[in-house]
Amino acid sequence: MSGTVEASPAGVISTLDDVTEAWRLVRELMIASRPHYLAVLQDVGLSPVQGMALLHLASDEPMSMSALAAALKCDNSNVTGIVDRLEAAGLVERRPDPHDRRVKTVVMTAHGSRLRDEADRRMAVPPPAFARLGAQDARVLREVLERLAR
């Protein structure tokens, strides 16, 4: 019901908006999938924030500590602790930036890359609700989500 105006039982007029309802359903799906996401990270030995950090790092490219903080939407001082724990686990290394030695970069190790890839592989398995989608519905959903992601 896109843009339809209806009276509620209390007599209050509200606008039923398909976009708002679609967003509510996406949020509901995200919340419902959180336990799966957290279980996958726990299974591979990562905390949620460590998993997010690894997912933001490219296997073959250093990222500055400040860029990682921006990607995680947290303060630079928080990233120090996150990277400390990742480094202690052998998942990342800190290196000076070759162009500005005052800047520290984070580089994923081979072990970190394997762990991140394993977590990503496990998280890529759709939840059971998606398996119930027919081929046409799955295609339409994918196309809509691709447009939204652009």
- Mapped onto helix, strand or coil, the DSSP state of residue 73 is coil
pLDDT at 119: 92
pLDDT at 1: 46
Query: pLDDT, tens digit, for every residue of 132-143?
Result: 899 999 999 999
Helix H or strand E encompassing 102? none
Contact 91, 54 (CB under 8 A): yes
d(CA 89, CA 60): 19
Query: pLDDT, tens digit, for every residue of 71-103?
Result: 999 998 899 999 999 999 999 999 998 888 888
Q: In the predicted model, what is the mean pLDDT of residues 20-41?
A: 89
CATH class of this structure's domain 47-149: mainly alpha
Contacts of 52 (CB under 8 A, 6+ apart): 72
pLDDT at 16: 59
Q: In the predicted model, what is the mean pLDDT of residues 119-125?
A: 90
Q: What is the rounded end-to-end Cα distance, in angstroms, of the chain?
A: 25
pLDDT at 13: 47
Query: pLDDT, tens digit, for every residue of 42-55?
Result: 999 999 999 999 99
pTM of the model: 0.74
The full set of domain ranges for the chain reads: 47-149
